[in-house]
Amino acid sequence: MSYYYQNEEWEVDVDEEEEEEEEEEEKWVKNISSNHQILLVGEGDFSFSLSLAHSFGSASNILASSLDPYDVLIENYEDAKWNLENLEKLGASLLHGVDATKLKLHSDLRWQKFDRIIFNFPHAGFHGNEAHTRVIKMHRNLVHGFFSSARGMLRADGEIHVNHKTTAPFCHWNIRELASKNWLVLIGCVDFKKEDYPGYNNKRGNGSRCDESFPLGHLTIMERISQHLSLPLTSSAGNPFSRMIDRHFRNPTETFGGINCDLSYSIHERSPDFGRDFAAMPGRTLNGDPTCFA
């Protein structure tokens, strides 16, 4: 059994013919739809936004933003100007100088709501050894601020997606804890594969090598199940859910905790009753995260 927590669905009456027409035109890239209103923050050279736009055949549902102002983008990223021009032709809305931790304060974003808010590989910049406690705290503050700002911009049933490296020291950011502090709950955890987004070039985004890419890992064991499985996975002999897990995995923590991977997090706003319902489930603890997310 899988447990998911999300906002209550809003019922909307739609003419059947219009609904069928929408379904025929809808296109999906993983769990992102051409019918979703999408906000992308912290874009580097805007190649991820353009990849989605090409897959959808339009960018009219995409609002893509960057922390850097336009002039800095053009100077730092070789392909940024070309990507931005093509996004505009496809109908995208573009914003620059947008702080991911202060989205609700931006005049062009203040009253908007989105189905998907996406932050690819958040990073507070290069300020020394990535394993240093001070540097980890800077990255955690960035993600915490992003969650705090983005959670109030979700539509009913909306999701926040964070793509993030989970090898050490990045696993010590503990994104699940940061989400929980902002009344968000993890509903999905899947492998991020760069090839699913043709044309996307991930960037370092800071320093003299900002236009260079960084290595992304791949994962095979979770692909088949994680799209329908909510973490954490903790074992208890008296829990039917845990018995099901034990039948498929000798040790859930061992299976998931030792994997060198990059993951895509799908995060819903937590319902008011989440804590009560979660705590009532036998063998489940709010701190029972697999080692990979410690």
- Give tens-digit pLDDT for 112-126: 999 999 999 998 887
pLDDT over threshold 70, residue 259: no
Closest C-alpha to 165, from 260, 40, 30:
260
How long is the chain? Answer: 294
Q: What CA–CA distance (Å, rounded) separates 251 from 235?
A: 8
CA-nearest of 174, 178, 158 to 166 is 174
70 in helix, strand or coil? helix
Spatial distance between the Cα atoms of 246 and 122, rounded to a whole number of angstroms: 34
244: confidence class by pLDDT, cuts 50, 70, 90 = very low
Quick check: 206 pLDDT over 60? Answer: yes
Residue 19 has a pLDDT of 55
Full-model pTM: 0.70
User: What confidence tens digit (pLDDT) does each residue in 26-58 have?
Assistant: 999 999 999 999 999 999 999 999 999 999 999
Instruction: Please choose, from the candidates 206, 144, 216, 126, the residue with its C-alpha nearest in 3D space to the C-alpha of residue 180.
Output: 144
Cα-only R_g, the chain? 19
243: left (phi over 0), alpha (psi -120 to 50) or beta: alpha
Residue with tokens 């804890």: 177
8 A C-beta contact, residue 49 and residue 84: no
* pLDDT per residue as tens digits for the range 132-162: 999 999 999 999 999 999 999 999 989 999 9
CA distance 201 to 203: 6
All structural domains of the chain, each given as residue ranges with its CATH number in brackets, are: 27-293 (3.40.50.150)
271: pLDDT strictly greater than 60:
no
Confidence class for position 24, pLDDT limits 50, 70, 90? low
Q: What percent of the chain has pLDDT over 70?
A: 65
Over residues 263-285, the mean pLDDT reads: 48
How does strand 154-165 pair with strand 262-269? antiparallel
Q: How is residue 207 annotated by DSSP?
A: S
Query: Any idea which residue has 């055949």 for tokens?
Result: 57
